[in-house]
A and B are shown apart, each in its own frame.
Chain A
């Protein structure tokens, strides 16, 4: 529907500007808070413009950490978060694209049953099966390790389901033509399926990276060693300090830094990401 009425245009822009302000304002406040002295934010008068203590705050949390709350330097937690998020993303995509390939292109006994078993796990996210999962991970000796952080989160059906739906839209003739052209199944996977799934992989990469980056409950359960803290749970530690006020400038600085990698991933993959959601190259 295309309408050309000045008032409607104005209204549409107004709504959009309000929306942007609504979303951006807290982020701005977080940034402003991270640039002031620790006490400023508790005084009751919230400043709207950045202060002068920004450099010092960021330097301190990045490299030496906040000793009062027992949090390690941010760069270490960032590294942990990055390793966890990337392992989850890469692991999920690899496993799910292969399992979707098997389910769509191979005829084996209980194929449909296998698909539905995978599908059912959609209904059992980590939070639901957290106790048994913790028990398994603990028994396997994976507490306080990158494996323990990422492997339990890799198992998931969303990506498998997505790839399956995409593969079903690839015409059968393509597989048949490749077969006549002498491509083995894995060669077909590498030469046809993988390049055709490029945009889907990019879209999933963005979604799963953010999912992995934002993990909170699971890392908190299985890491007790500060060397394996992730950024998101580190922030929580800084807030929950005993016997004193949280140092909001440090907390907010960490929050701002924690937002950066997901933003970078989204911006970097935006073109492919949008393409993957909207169109399919066939």
Chain B
């Protein structure tokens, strides 16, 4: 087990394309860190640099107190789980697990003991003598994780390990990974583009965009106080509503509709509202024009618009729904962002007086 430190890490591909543009990050011992971002944000490249599969163009990567920039992947004391599992197809599960250990000249009894332990943890004891071909997706996934666990490395690296599984199995394996981490407490770095997976697994969430870190922190902190429009729009499903708005004399307007009062900003802003933070009640002439309703079973999503801008509202089943509705928003639920750079405007809401009604 070890902490991992990235300082000023850059990846510049031949031809001048900068995939990772200077990343500084501390990963504490035993922490579960998730890199999340859209495709092409550099999250996989970053992980592969930690693994040693990509060279580091600039900066420094430390695992423990060792700079590993020029250390072979095998000597970094890490284990990696790949998206397509990368099991050795001609070897049995047992051989797959033991291959890395044999290459390290581990004594036979020790290998057997470790494989038995790992197989028990992952419940793959019954398949040890099968070939990967004869396993289901979930079982292959377990074997791929087993190959990492059996090594007992300083850190686990996961490269979108669940994206090849169907939705139900993915949920299940997500739980198992979480459980496993609690049990083994090994430093883990996990890459995904699925924000839900990221939110639920991470001790520390790293949102990447365009090769840079957008925000780092506990998942809920990021959810509650996104540092930028990008993070706000990326985390949460359905995503946060982002409206072009302007503040005039402390009142927030969308188009001609006043949404909220007591806002400490001035001029054009981007207003962020989580669907679950917006409440609507039926009122003829209300600002919200309902277009259609999405039934999710336990709740419903109201899709519509305010002054021509799309807005999604999460609504309880018992609430009434009508074609025109008035909006109710708690001031503390409002997120404001600069139009110019998309960064969060802090302390935007002066105080919380009575929730203002917005009627058109």
Q: Which residues of chain B in 69-88 are interfacial with respect to chain A, using CB atoms and an 8 Å cutoff?
A: 72-74, 78-80, 82-84, 86-88
CB of B103 within 8 A of CB of A176, answer: no
Instruction: Tell me which of B51, B52, B79, B100 has the highest count of chain A C-beta atoms within 10 A of its own C-beta.
Output: B100
Q: Is the CB of B90 within 8 A of A182?
A: no
Partner of B103, one of A173, A182, A282: A182
Interface size class of B (residues with CB under 8 A): 20 to 34
Contact A180 to B51, CB < 8 A, known contacts A173-B82, A173-B84, A187-B103: yes
Q: Is the CB of A196 within 8 A of B89?
A: yes
Whether A181 contacts B53 in the complex (CB less than 8 A), given A173-B83, A196-B89, A196-B90, comes out as no
> Closest chain A residue to B76 by CB distance?
A180
Beta-carbon contact of A177 and B104 below 8 Å: no
A145-185: CB near B (< 8 Å → 1, else 0) gives: 00000000000000000000000000101101111111100
Of A174, A176, A182, A187, the contact of B88 (CB 8 Å cutoff): A174
A interface majority secondary structure = helix
Q: Which residues in window 176-205 of A have CB below 8 A to B?
A: 176-183, 187, 191-192, 195-196
Contact yes or no, A180 B103, CB < 8 A? no
Q: Assess whether B90 is in contact with A171, with CB atoms less than 8 Å apart.
A: no
Nearest-neighbour CB distance to chain B for A214, whole angstroms, equals: 33
When the two chains form the complex, which single residue of B53, B82, B99 contacts A191, counting CB atoms closer than 8 Å? B99
A195 touches B99 (CB 8 A): no
B99 close to A181 (CB less than 8 A):
yes
Report A-chain residues with C-beta under 8 Å of the C-beta of B78.
Answer: 180
Do the beta carbons of B86 and A182 come within 8 Å of each other? no
Nearest Cβ on chain A to B241's Cβ, whole angstroms:
39
CB within 8 Å of A: which B224-264 residues: none
Q: Which residues of chain B are near A176, meaning CB under 8 Å? A: 51, 53, 73, 80, 82, 86
Q: Is the CB of A171 within 8 A of B100?
A: no
Is A181 touching B90 in the complex (CB atoms < 8 A)? Answer: no
Q: How far is the CA of A183 from the CA of B99 in the complex (A)?
A: 9
Asked if A171 contacts B74 (CB within 8 A), the reply is no
CA–CA, A196 to B103, complex, Å? 19
Closest to A281 in B: B89
Evaluate contact between A179 and B88: CB separation under 8 angstroms: no
Measured in the bound complex, the distance between the Cα atoms of B103 and A174 in whole Å is 16
Enumerate chain A residues within 8 angstroms of B83, measured Cβ to Cβ: 173
Interface membership of chain B positions 45-82, coded 1 if the CB is closer than 8 angstroms to chain A and 0 otherwise: 00000011100000000000000000011100011101
Docked Cα-Cα span, A182 to B83, in Å, equals 20
Residues of A within 8 A of B103 (CB): 181-183, 187
Q: Is the CB of A179 within 8 A of B90?
A: no
Nearest chain B CB to A107 CB, angstrom units: 11
A-B contact count (CB 8 A): 59
Docked-complex contact A181 and B100, CB < 8 angstroms? yes
Q: Which of A174, A181, A196, A281 contacts B74 (CB 8 A)?
A: A181
Given A180-B51, A180-B79; A282-B89 close (CB under 8 Å): yes
By a CB distance below 8 angstroms, the chain B residues around A181 are 74, 99-100, 103, 147
Contacts of A173 in B (CB 8 A): 82-84, 86
Q: Are B90 and A180 in contact (CB under 8 A)?
A: no
Closest to B148 in A: A180
Kindly identify which residue among A177, A187, A281, A282 contacts B82, using a CB–CB cutoff of 8 Å: A177
Q: How far is the CA of A38 from the CA of B100 in the complex (A)?
A: 68
- Contact A192-B80, Cβ < 8 Å, known A180-B74, A181-B99, A182-B104: no
Shortest Cβ distance from residue A47 to the other chain B in the assembled complex, whole angstroms? 54
Q: Mark A128-152, 1 if CB is under 8 A from B, else 0.
A: 0000000000000000000000000
Chain A residue at minimum C-beta to C-beta distance from B104:
A182
- Asked if residues A179 and B73 are in contact (CB atoms below 8 Å), the reply is yes
Minimum C-beta distance from B325 to chain A (A): 51
Chain A residues with Cβ below 8 Å from B104 are: 182
Q: Which chain B residues border A187 with CB–CB below 8 Å?
A: 103
Tell me the minimal C-beta distance from A170 to chain B in angstroms.
9
> Would you give the shortest CB distance from A10 to chain B, in whole angstroms?
41
Q: B100 to chain A: which residues have CB within 8 Å?
A: 180-182
Residues of A within 8 A of B84 (CB): 171, 173
Nearest CB in chain B: distance from A282 CB, A: 6
Chain B residues near A195 (CB, 8 Å)?
90
A176 to B86: give the CA distance in the assembly, Å: 9
Q: How far is the CA of A276 from the CA of B148 in the complex (A)?
A: 32
Residues of B within 8 A of A192 (CB): 88, 90
- Whole-angstrom distance between the Cβ of B132 and the nearest chain A Cβ: 10
Chain B proximity of A199: nearest CB distance (Å): 11
Q: Would you mind naming 16 contact pairs between A and B with Cβ atoms under 8 Å apart?
A: A173-B82, A173-B84, A173-B86, A176-B51, A176-B53, A176-B73, A176-B80, A177-B80, A177-B86, A177-B147, A178-B88, A179-B53, A181-B147, A182-B74, A196-B90, A282-B89
- Using a CB–CB cutoff of 8 Å, the interface residues on chain A facing chain B are 171, 173-174, 176-183, 187, 191-192, 195-196, 281-282
- 9 closest cross-chain pairs (CB), A and B: A181-B100, A173-B86, A182-B74, A182-B103, A177-B86, A173-B82, A195-B90, A180-B73, A179-B73
